[in-house]
Structure 1
Amino acid sequence: MRFIAAHHLVFCFASLLFVSTATAQWHRQAFQTLGTQAYIELWSEDSTLASQLILDVQAEFERINQLMSPYIASSELSLLNRQAASAPVQVSAEMYQLLQQARQISELSNGAFDITFASVGFYYDYRARLKPDAAQLQQGRQLVNYQSVELLPGNTVRYRQAGIKIDLGGIAKGYAVERGILLLAARGIKHAQLTAGGDSRLLGDKAGKPWLVGIKHPRQDDKYAATLPLENTAISTSGDYERFFIEEGVRYHHILDPKTGQSAAGALSVSVTGPDTTQTDALSTTLFVLGLQQGLALIELIDGYEAIFIDANRQMYFSSGLTP
């Protein structure tokens, strides 16, 4: 099933991305999940354990997909979009907690992150080069308001208006990556990387050296804009080049500004590093929508998280905790 793929980030081990063999004690596997390419690499002396853990991580991704995909009719998210405007819907504690986390980022960013963007976002079809007309855009924008999703006691959720739709594409993929790394760590793995689309989490280092993570150049497929040496951290990248079409010189891409219902302008790419992939996923989207000045101001307020912006002039800007 297809899942919103909001980001794109490239590991500098690109030649390994489609290898599923074990060399020495590194075990590697590429797989499709959540509508995007995923990759796992881990160090283990036990090949049987490593193979099982790779399968367990894939199963965890699929479990989250079945729970949170808007393209699966039986998912809890689809159930909410069908029924929560009519009556409160009880969801799992897991779904409820992720909705709470999304709400916190919405409040922190004054609505720049808003899962109800799907109320207008569902009119877009980037493969078919479709966008909402003026009437659809106006109608959809009126429904975009994170405060219209009420989080009630007992893990119940209610929408305040009919027609509201939510989509967790800006946070669920990072959540799945974080869950996968926690699973590996709980089984004793000390060194691993797990990536899905542009959301990546590093466990420990790579054989005594940092992992090298390349941030994709937003306008040149075969180049990196930057390479970062990272250990035991997460990184997510949001860019305007992952899902888009160009019409009459205008780029229509999937990162929508909740206030306008249209593609956010001003940045080409935003990457966020920090200790938790759920947060870096949501924050990279948030900062992209906010733009350079407001985005940098926000990230400076969040302890442990840093950002790299590439603006419309292809200039790179770093938050204060990062050295170019």
Structure 2
Amino acid sequence: MYFTAATLALAFASGVSAHAQMYGVWVNGVDQGDGRNVYIRSPPNNSPVKDLASAALACNVNGGKAGSSFVKAAAGDTLTFEWYHNTRTDDIIDASHKGPVITYIAPYTEGNGAASIWTKIAEDGYDSSSKTWAVQKLIANKGKQDFVLPANLAAGRYLIRQEIIAHHESDTAYNVNSARGAQFYPSCVQFEVTGSGSAVPDQNFNFNTGYTYSDPGIVFNLYSAFTSYKIPGPAVWNAASSGSGSTPAPAQTSTSSSFVGGATLLPDTTSTSVAETQAPATTSVAVVVPTTTAAPTTLVTVTSAAQPRPTKCGGRRRRRSRQ
């Protein structure tokens, strides 16, 4: 890829750090209102998570701090997650922070989500035909990312996690140079789903073990001559072909319960605020999940010798401004 002085200047200018976090949810086009610290487990600021060993990789800092309410939706509904930078409908995230937007679901837990409970239900990465990243679409759509709840999803309470992965510094792994590495912006939303479906999400994905520094979708040189991009994590779950009607395994003993998909879940009630660099939590998160695992995607990343790298993203955290 040929670099002009202007291109490199824009890359270096990414140090101004326009980061992102989630504002709220829309259900079939209807705004559910400001969800921050209400139905969204909101972090204290818009800074990214970079350490793959951090418990915050699942639901961000404050991931174990349950919200006071749930978004109500039916299986098959179209959901829209709305992101912002400092104020609603602003620049959303710096245009240099190109990467995928990925959505997962898990049975509801009051724990921080750092466990083998997640199933991928939607993803958007790099469109080679238009040479467009999901983050570029997100910015163009004023911070809104649509996806559809699986029509066969069992009724109950869930966490739905959507993340932005920014690749402007991911040519070097975080464990090699902590000043660089992919930037993760995860956000977890509490949902109560209705419907007559019987499909129970069953991929049992764990971000702390499933995302690795050997993954080409995590350590990725955005400034190389690439023709494709392999989105990290499992394949998107096919609810229609899952083990519908199967009985989940009994939950582990805990002190509180929630009702999900016809089964009583006994989640961990520990509420923990975890710093980005903290090691993953070891508290068991008792949830009801089957045991099959989906096969990974098979796209191949093609890279060439790395070009000059941009400077690191700004080190100073931004405080979220008032709306």
Q: Give the TM bin, normalised by the shorter chain.
A: under 0.3
Higher strand fraction: Structure 1 or Structure 2? 1
Structure number with greater CO (CA < 8 Å, separation at least 6) is 2
TM-score for both structures, normalised by structure 2: 0.24
Higher helix fraction: Structure 1 or Structure 2? 1
TM-score for both structures, normalised by structure 1: 0.24
